[in-house]
Structure 1
């Protein structure tokens, strides 16, 4: 089975994450994720992997034993089973040979992928591209990763002369709603020394830094009163919340920032004059910047409390995930250099991209498994305009193989 056939087979299984089930603690949140995990497990068995374990949570792990007596570190690769909830309909993928200009996705519905809106597609002229029919996501986020990883394992099976140490693979559910699968993943039992997720962007992109991420829940408690006799009595919690928001640093919001600029994201506001709850996301690439932002919110809440009275403001701050760069500092940065060499062997220039978001590797790294992020080749994640150049998908598989090669070739002194 070639890599395109694998990918298309995976897209035929609807694995849309289900937010309500996820909020209720159900994992996997949708039955399609378990269906896909079972299919992948059967394919891993055919490829000769061992210790294949599929848990009730749909977390799937397997091991490719070493074919050498040399002592080598255990490298691992991760993909996620679910697709985003932006679209819930079944995927009807199609392959087009791109000759330039717009791509008609659906003539009946007059839906086209327009070159004027997505100019980066020009670099794929003359290539086959997998697209949607305009009614769903493609699901390359992250079924392209699963296809690339299994294709790499197929390459190792077909070429036993390629020396490799122990290789472990894992596929987790519900990445698209809070990295739930990675948070439930048992890194210690898995037994890998380092790893890579495949959950990123166009060919050549590589992620080894992302946000330090936190959450804030601020509750404003006022005092209700009938407006006819409200003077001196009414304390409007909605106005408290708006004043609090107005005191946030100007320009430090998602819509005003880019690259490595951090922000405060006012994400949700709900309530009435008596009680209002504000939910915020806090993001910063540096540890110092992140701590400073969290401290600023704590101090602002305390000052507002002093101004508006006891129990008027309650703030709860929590950490969500760390920047994967925190786990790749100094001598621990070798997974980056291994990947850089693997890219170079495939004539791919590494483009290090700071990810303004989270991915499973951030959680895995925080748990002690350094895990940067390799491209799958796909574009326009979470959109009906998602597309995947076939050459880019194959390149992702080739990079995985060469990561394994380079790992085996290094002198680890073990």
Structure 2
């Protein structure tokens, strides 16, 4: 099966992550993810892979055995099954030739992919582009990854002259809800030595840095009173929360930062005069900066509690995931070297990009499986304007094949 046909077949399965089910601990949060995992599992079995398993949580694992008689490390490739909850409707993918200017997605609804808004479109003049009809996500995040991985496996099977060690496949559910699938993935049993996720954007992008990420839940407890007799009695927890927010460092919020600049994100505020809950995300690329940000919130909470009274402010801090770069330094940096060389061998200029977000490789690396992130070729994740140039999709799969080749060359005794 051609990679484009394969990708479009995956888009026809609705795998939208379900936040309510995820909050209730259900995995996968949507049954479409299990359907896709089972379909891919059958495709891998047909290609002759061994140990193809789909767990109760819809985690798929499989192995293409080595075709050499000398030891080589096992390299793995990961994608995620779910698509973002920004749109829940079924995907109607279409392949359109692009000759420049604006691209019409839906004439009836006057929906266009406009070059004035997405200037990188000019890089794909003369290419075919996979888009939707403008009423849904495309789901290239992350079905382009799955198509690339399966296409790579198919190519290796069809070309046994390519020498390789064990090649492993891992697909996980509910990445879009805080890397839920990768956090419970059994790295030790899986048996890979290093890995790559495909959960990145345009052709050439290479990620081996992401946030150190944490969550803060701050509860403000006030004292309610009737307004006619509130003087000296009412302690308004909503106003406490607003004063707390006003004391956060100015300019250190998502809307004011870029590159490697960290932030505090005031994400949700709910409550009344008696009790208010503030949910915040804390992000920083350096471990030291991250710890300083978490300590700042702890200190600010304690200072406010001292001002407003015992029990008025309770701060709960928790870690979400760590910067993957923490696991890719020194002797563990070789997966970056291999990926970089694979790009260059294919005349693709590596565009090293710090990811202002998380990806499954962060959790996998933290659990002992070093895991950079390579491109799928897609743009505008989580948007109805998501699109995937066909040449970029093919290039993503070519990079995976090249990584397998380079792994054999690097570690051959």
Matching of residue 322 in structure 1 with residue 308 in structure 2: no
Matching of residue 31 in structure 1 with residue 31 in structure 2: yes
- Please list, as runs of the form range in 1=range in 2, the aligned pairs for 1:282-301 lying within 5 A after superposition: 282-301=282-301
Q: Deviations over 1:284-334 (max 9, x none)?
A: 000000000000000111111111111011000000000000000111111
Indicate the residue corresponding to 2:409 in structure 1: 409
- Please list, as runs of the form range in 1=range in 2, the aligned pairs for 1:179-258 lying within 5 A after superposition: 179-258=179-258
CA distance in 1, matches of 2:290, 2:351: 25
Indicate the residue corresponding to 1:115 in structure 2: 115
Secondary structure of 1:176's counterpart equals helix
Deviation of residue 198 (structure 1)?
Answer: 0.4
CA distance in 2, matches of 1:313, 1:189: 43
Matching of residue 125 in structure 1 with residue 114 in structure 2: no
Q: Deviations over 1:65-90 (max 9, x none)?
A: 00011211110000011111111111
Matching of residue 6 in structure 1 with residue 10 in structure 2: no
Matching of residue 378 in structure 1 with residue 388 in structure 2: no
Q: Deviations over 1:103-143 (max 9, x none)?
A: 11011111111111111011000011101111111110000
CA distance in 1, matches of 2:232, 2:94: 66
What runs of 5+ residues in structure 2 fail to find an aligned partner?
none
Q: Deviations over 1:190-241 (max 9, x none)?
A: 0101100001000000100000000000001111111111111111111111
Q: How many residues align?
A: 413
CA distance in 2, matches of 1:114, 1:23: 37
Indicate the residue corresponding to 2:280 in structure 1: 280
CA distance in 1, matches of 2:364, 2:381: 22
Indicate the residue corresponding to 2:84 in structure 1: 84
CA distance in 1, matches of 2:203, 2:129: 13
Query: 2:322, 2:366 within 8 Å by CA — same for their partners in 1?
Result: yes
Query: 2:73, 2:411 within 8 Å by CA — same for their partners in 1?
Result: no
Deviation of residue 411 (structure 1)?
Answer: 3.5
CA distance in 2, matches of 1:279, 1:89: 29
Deviation of residue 412 (structure 1)?
Answer: 6.3
Secondary structure of 1:267's counterpart equals strand
Matching of residue 354 in structure 1 with residue 354 in structure 2: yes
Secondary structure of 1:406's counterpart equals helix
Indicate the residue corresponding to 1:265 in structure 2: 265
Indicate the residue corresponding to 1:44 in structure 2: 44
CA distance in 2, matches of 1:280, 1:4: 40
User: Deviating runs (4+, > 6 A) in structure 1?
Assistant: none
What runs of 5+ residues in structure 1 fail to find an aligned partner?
none
Secondary structure of 2:292's counterpart equals helix
Query: 2:83, 2:142 within 8 Å by CA — same for their partners in 1?
Result: yes
Indicate the residue corresponding to 2:388 in structure 1: 388
CA distance in 2, matches of 1:106, 1:229: 60
CA distance in 1, matches of 2:28, 2:131: 26
Secondary structure of 2:371's counterpart equals coil
Secondary structure of 1:349's counterpart equals coil
CA distance in 2, matches of 1:252, 1:165: 46
Task: Report the TM-score, using the length of structure 1 for normalisation.
Answer: 0.99
CA distance in 2, matches of 1:317, 1:199: 28
Secondary structure of 2:397's counterpart equals helix
CA distance in 2, matches of 1:277, 1:411: 53
CA distance in 2, matches of 1:34, 1:395: 28
CA distance in 1, matches of 2:38, 2:256: 44
CA distance in 1, matches of 2:412, 2:336: 16
Indicate the residue corresponding to 2:306 in structure 1: 306
